[in-house]
Amino acid sequence: MDDCIFCKIGSGELPSTKLYEDDRFLAFLDIQPVSLGHALVIPKEHYQDISQVPEGLLGGLFGLARCLGDETIAETGAAGFNIVVNRGVAAGQVVMHAHVHVIPREPDDGLKHWPKKDIPEEDRERLAAALRDRLG
């Protein structure tokens, strides 16, 4: 896609701090990190969001993200990592090219998790039944 920043990074048209690259995927440091080692893993082919990535690529994408997280822990001594995917603007997706965030974490890093919501049991059960039907 001509105007996609991640496509331009993947093709080498724009610079990045590359961590890993093969014919299908690229991992590079995020230019707006929330922690030391915060990286992005992308498929080189353009897919607008994670829902468009073919199943045959998902395993490789998430496998690389997990491996990168493990190696970042080994190198930095981080206590853990998050693997985060934002699908759509409402979920916080800014670049419309499928990508996975790998975010190294420390117990006292100040990064907050989502607040819990009190969802009525009947709403949860109704949704669960509908999703079971959709999933077959």
Catalytically active residues, by annotation: 99
Q: Which of 81, 97, 87 is nearest to 34 (CA)?
A: 81
Burial of 113 (0-12, 13-18, 19+ CB in 10 A): exposed
In the structure encoding, which two tokens stand for residue 128, read together?
């669960």
Of residues 69, 73, 103, 71, the one with CA closest to residue 86: 103
Q: Write phi, then psi, for 37 (nearest 5 degrees).
A: 95, 0
